[in-house]
Amino acid sequence: MDNKESLEERRNFSRVKIPNLKANFKLLNLRTYSTYLEKNPEPIEDISLGGMSLKTFNNLETKSPVTIDFKIGAEPYTVKVFGRIAWIKQVQEQDYMMGISFSWWNKEEDKKIVKELISQYKKTE
């Protein structure tokens, strides 16, 4: 069994790639709360109801609390979710991939919208 298969077996939620889905995120601490770490939204590599992975230019601490927001739909609806950095790995000199585990949703409606979106893309895979 390769590493990817064992990771998929441990996940509680299946992940999908959704083209053109981008996110902003903030660390949740008093010093940086009002400033997004990334000035431009970053592409989401994959997403599930349990978390997401995305690119960042910051080497951040695992377990750090974050808030993430991203826009969905033609008339963009902003989804907001809170989580923790589950893992981070350097992929190039100043680029990192980061996994975020969701802790709670700002609104239950946001979770339903993301669940529906994931379901739509899961059918196309």
Task: Count CB neighbours of 68 within 10 A.
Answer: 21
Residue 24: phi, psi to the nearest 5? -105, 150
Instruction: Dump pLDDT digits (tens) for 17-40.
Output: 888 889 988 888 756 555 556 667
Task: Count CB neighbours of 44 within 10 A.
Answer: 20
Nearest to 50 by CA among 111, 5, 96: 111
Phi-psi label, residue 82: left if phi above 0, alpha if psi -120 to 50, beta otherwise: beta
The token pair at 49 is 């109801």
Domains located in the chain, CATH noted = 20-124 (2.40.10.220)
Q: What confidence tier does 80 reach under pLDDT thresholds 50, 70, 90?
A: very high
Q: Is the pLDDT of residue 4 over 60?
A: no
